[in-house]
Structure 1
């Protein structure tokens, strides 16, 4: 069933891209023949892909929510959650209090394939992570309790369509997979 949904989504996006390309192509040969030096549409680089309306955004929110749900452990307890547009980015500081470790889960959706850089920082320690938009599972980062930390995704530009959903959960120690501190890292 998921393969069919993925195929259907791919076909819809491809059809929209082809239709959009045809619709924007006015007769460039006729403009060249008339010698016109001005244009109603100034020359730009490749247009930024965008969503056509509210329905596309709602679908993206549902996909991002499913991606977040896919990585949430049974023992997780939600502390905070939110959504930001790619145009606005994310810059949020969390208290990190208590004695249970945290997971910071991030899911991104955009009308085109794109990657974002998530920066996690606490004190002098800082790490950067690549978050790919459109993944079926959210990216999950382990953060130990013990003080304030910041999560930041740089603004993608005012015309960038897309969204980032995030969740901060506390988890039990046995729910922490892999590195116990994705801010400091575990390569030492």
Structure 2
């Protein structure tokens, strides 16, 4: 079994609905509604810091994006060339604690990973070069507001830690 780097973003945090609506401040935050924009910007900054914290020096960004938890994530990604990839993901949710399930798939192989929202560092998954792969996070239940940030990087082979293929998995 591989020792997966689970990387935390933040503790309690208020996050605005990214697509529409107003934010609901966390009771733990201790402050009132700021209209949502400030909360969304803060969540984005913290998630970005979490992604940056796991990015090796050899990383070359191939793709990146943001999705609201209410919309989920459903992407197909190219994994061309000879260098391995990392798929890094971080999430923020107004209702903490909250987790999402990331499904990585390529061909008939599929794996599911639990990603905790509010962690200080992003979760990082190793993907070998080859055929395109998909990454999916199902939309959150109504009333769960937040965001998912992700990055796809190529990395030097020596920066691949633990299992080289988090889609098919590795035996220990």
TM-score normalised per structure 1: 0.74
1:95: Cα distance to partner? 1.2
Which position in structure 2 is the counterpart of 1:115? 99
Which position in structure 2 is the counterpart of 1:177? 161
Residue by residue over 1:102-142, the C-alpha shift from the partner in whole angstroms, topping out at 9 and shown as x without a partner, is 00000001112200000000000000000000000000000
Higher helix share: 1
Higher strand share: 2
Q: Secondary structure at the match of 2:86?
A: strand
Asked if 1 retains the 8 angstrom alpha-carbon contact of 2:84 and 2:156, the reply is yes
Unmatched 5+ residue regions in structure 1?
Answer: 1-5, 21-49
Q: Secondary structure at the match of 1:148?
A: strand
Q: Secondary structure at the match of 2:40?
A: helix
TM-score normalised per structure 2: 0.81
User: How far apart in 2 are the matches of 1:136 and 1:73?
Assistant: 16
Structure whose CA Rg is larger? 1
User: How far apart in 1 are the matches of 2:120 and 2:147?
Assistant: 15
Asked if 1 retains the 8 angstrom alpha-carbon contact of 2:12 and 2:29, the reply is no
CA RMSD of aligned residues (A): 2.5
Which position in structure 1 is the counterpart of 2:130? 146
Are residue 87 (structure 1) and residue 67 (structure 2) matched? no
Asked if 2 retains the 8 angstrom alpha-carbon contact of 1:119 and 1:128, the reply is yes
Are residue 127 (structure 1) and residue 111 (structure 2) matched? yes
Larger RCO (alpha carbons 8 Å, 6+ apart): 2
Unmatched 5+ residue regions in structure 2?
Answer: 1-9, 15-24
Counterparts in 2 of 1:115 and 1:82: CA distance versus 1, 3 Å: same
